[in-house]
Amino acid sequence: MKKMIIPSIFALLAAIFYALNSPVSKLLLENFNPTMLAGFLYLGAGIGIGIIFIINKRKSKNTIYLNKSDLPYVVGMVILDVIAPILLMYGLKNTTSASSSLLNNFEIVATTIIAFLVFKEFVSKRLIIALLLITSASIILTVNDFSNLEFSFGSLLVLLATICWGFENNFTKKISHKDTYQIVMIKGLGSGTTSLLISFIIKANLPAFSYILGALVLGFVAYGLSITFYIKAQSVLGASKTSMYYAFAPFISSLLSLLILNEPININYYFALSLMLLGTIFVIIDSSKKLHEHIHVHELTYFYQGKIHQTTIIHSHIHEHGRKENHLHSHKEIELKDVII
């Protein structure tokens, strides 16, 4: 039991650190161009996690790193990580931080729908209920006046950001068996540098150094440290239990927004909050279901460029045992070694 305390604290810290993003970014936007702020946030994460990656690389011996075959997913991941935070920052500038925080949960909907339609992954009944609840809450937060169908421009931008992150999550999932620190470092440095270049092209003004330093620190904490603590917690608690803590990050962020920014809240927010909370509970219940992974090891020998090569591959299938034996379409092949005989 005692062994679970520290990982549980790590998981909670991961959620709290990520929750700082919306309210603190809202404050920084008073002195930042949204594109430039998005760049410094990701750059802070990239630099911080880059240092951790270098330290971790010296210690780890069996880590699998990215290679040329991963390039399409890496490029797609970086491009989407440029677009999404810029949309989020412009959305934050035009809506309340509390509403934006809750709307971040729509990322669950976007990720799941894309995984189902594009990558043919299984979606359970519980998850469908969760998606409907979260979508309904998102509509309530996005529509200012239902009688005239007047939409909140800022909320729409936040939703577009979550859709981009939904695609990005699915791209990242394709390379998730590779080194996590390397992936996050590339995300941060690649997306941050690109966003900054765009901000300079559109001639955005640099704020005072103190604000730049604040953005870098926020990026390192809200994106970088959050992911680091998530990884540490997940290694002990497992994916489902860690996600239970992390799923409540938008609600923590929403509460911080109310406390820090003292934003005015209408009745729609509280109604959406109830639906969003219920939908998140269904997501947690669904993620807690037992999954079983069957692993097969294959030895492949082939002739290439006048030499005989031998490759060891891990081939795994993850599936869920339920009433109807629903099988999840989760499959990965990991190359472990390629030896010339």
The pLDDT score that the predictor gives to residue 126 is 86
Which positions ≥6 away from 4 have C-beta within 8 Å?
236, 237
DSSP bridge pairs for 304: 307
What pLDDT is attached to residue 190? Answer: 95
Instruction: Tell me how far apart the terminal alpha carbons of the chain are, to the nearest angstrom.
Output: 49
Give the confidence band of 118 by pLDDT, cuts at 50, 70, 90: confident
Whole-number pLDDT of residue 299: 59
Distances from the Cα of 57 to the Cα of 37, 221, 336, angstroms = 30, 21, 17
Which pLDDT belongs to residue 230?
A: 80
Residue in 314, 298, 313, 312 with CA at minimum distance from that of residue 341:
312
Count CA atoms within 13 Å of residue 10 on its CB side: 20
Report CA-CA distances (Å) from 190 to 35, 44, 78, 184, 305. Answer: 14, 11, 6, 10, 35
pLDDT at 89 over 80: yes
- pLDDT at res. 192: 96
Predicted pLDDT of residue 327: 43
List Cα–Cα distances, 216 to 16, 90, 153, 210, 220, in angstroms: 17, 18, 27, 10, 6
pLDDT-wise least confident of 213-222, 245-254, 281-290: 281-290
**DSSP H or E segment with residue 336:** strand 330-340
268-279 pLDDT, tens digit each: 888 999 999 998
Confidence at residue 336, expressed as pLDDT on a 0 to 100 scale = 46
Write down the pLDDT at residue 130: 87
Taking only the tens place, the pLDDT of each residue in 194-208 is 999 999 999 999 999
pLDDT confidence bin for 339, thresholds 50/70/90: very low
**Tokens, residue 214:** 């604040």
Query: Which helix (H) or strand (E) element contains residue 199?
Result: helix 180-201
- Domain residues of the chain, as ranges? 2-289, 292-340
Residue 35 has pLDDT above 80, yes or no: yes
CA distance 160 to 308: 49
Angle 255-101-206 from CA coordinates, rounded to 5°: 105
- Structural element, H or E, at residue 308: strand 307-320
Residue 169 pLDDT > 50, yes or no? yes
Give the separation between CA 329 and CA 161, rounded to whole angstroms: 26
CA distance 79 to 93: 22
Rounded mean pLDDT of 25-41? 96
Band (pLDDT 50/70/90 cuts) for residue 86 is: very high
pLDDT at position 238 is 65
Q: What is the pLDDT of residues 132-153, one digit of tens each?
A: 999 999 999 898 766 666 788 9
| Identity of residue 35 | T
CB 282, CB 135: distance < 8 Å: no
